[in-house]
Amino acid sequence: MSLLVVGLSHRSAPVSVLERASLAADTQAKLLQDTLAAEPATEAAVLATCNRIELYADVDKFHAGVAELSTLLAQHSGVGLEELTPYLYVHYEDRAVHHLFSVACGLDSMVVGEGQILGQIKDALARGQELHTAGRLLNDLFQQALRVGKRAHSETGIDRAGQSLVTFGLQQLAAGADPALWAGGKRALVIGAGSMSSLAAATLARTGVAEIVVANRTCARADRLVEILQQGDDTAVRARAVEMSAVGDELTRADIVVSCTGSTGLVLTADALADALGVTLDAAPEAPAVTAATPAPDDVDQHAAWVENGSAAYAGPATPRRVTVPAQSTGPVRLALLDLAMPRDIDGAAHRIAGVRLVDIESLAEASADAPMAADVDRVRTIVSDEVAAFGAAQRAAHVAPTVVALRTMAADVVAGEIARLDGRLPDLDEKQRAEITQTVRRVVDKLLHAPTVRVKQLASEPGGAGYADALRELFDLDPQTVAAVSRADLNDPNRGRS
């Protein structure tokens, strides 16, 4: 069996495709189950964030695996296979391991070095374990990826190569100014109470905003986030929770809005934002027009690994209307908007409203493309290469381990049978004599098996070493079912793959 990953990310696909291909939590579960039901795959895990969707699987056929995983991604994302295919990338065996380790270190992130991806990888592993789709290979792979990512952050300055998406977004909103000076004393509205929104709220609090208002469909979760903010020892921010119905009123008082929900529709339309700012929207037919869509109140999906269930959409007036939005003026910014959702929460036309500055996933991708790379990135790449080699050696060694165990089990059975036969032929042996004979026979067998079993483990850890396990099984005529039984026992160990 071999590791295969098929996916798309901000590096391979435009934002317009990524936001359409985003997977809700229940869709991810169904994708994993359907992947296991497919013939080429025996294990599966999905890593879904706002700017990547990757399906990992242990497959027995490369071409069939690529075709099946690509088809499944298209079916569950809702983007047709023909449209999706040009944006998909494929990594196999060591290249797949290298890719995930690079992702874990933040080398493949929109903002190089960001650490939040580690939490998302941990969530992906937990989901695979909970659904029993992650077996020995993917458990080992994702656990090692987490260790590699932590090592990169602890041994290098990769964190200096970039910031978290929230911090980077605030820097873009500050437009070159010190974010702490820019945000100091301002009022912030955070829409959503999932993991990304919580990170945004905490970052805003440390930046020095005077007040944070949290709006979420589930009030209990908004209250909990407010409680956490107020318990922080390093901040003195005022915080309060409101219902989603109060978002319109809060917009009139906010200086900064950060939104990251799981809504499949717009949370803030150009219409709602213009109303909050008191801007008159002309309806001239020759001007660019934007339709303000109103999603159903309960039309909420979980947003990848960042957002948990609970964020609903606010879209201003209940009846959508077609409006025209004036071009962005050069005047002062009255409302700064940071949209971290995928699909997007805030109408893209908002940046054309006078007094509004909008930073979203797409603009973050463009800005980070020109960001300077820290020298530590090269060191992280070396760490990744070393860890990939070590992981491959460990996997090859693990491949031969069941064969070695089966060989020693067979030898023990032979010893037991011969001792039993000796008891029948020499029934007058006392316990001391019998024990000495038994020990002597076992030592002889152990010495005979020691060199070949140690050597086969060493050879198996090298590239192409898997064939040594096959040779050992053939030479000693080991029952394949016995070897498989050892593998299954190891795989079913409840302590395996748990952190």
Q: Which residues are catalytic?
A: 50
The packing angle between helices 195-207 and 219-231, to 10°, is 30
Distance from chain centroid for Cα 45: 10
Taking alpha carbons only, the member of 269, 227, 243 closest to residue 189 is: 243
Give the Cα separation of 447 and 381 in Å (integer).
43
Distances (CA, A) of 396 to 237, 296, 301: 53, 52, 40
Whether the upstream peptide bond of residue 427 has omega within 30° of 0, thus cis, is no
Distances (CA, A) of 472 to 407, 446, 449, 460: 9, 16, 11, 11
Give the Cα separation of 140 and 164 in Å (integer).
27
Task: End-to-end CA distance of the chain: give it in Å, rounded.
Answer: 25
Residues 6+ positions from 365 with CB-CB distance below 8 Å: 10, 15, 51, 110
**Count of CB atoms situated within 10 Å of the CB of 304:** 28
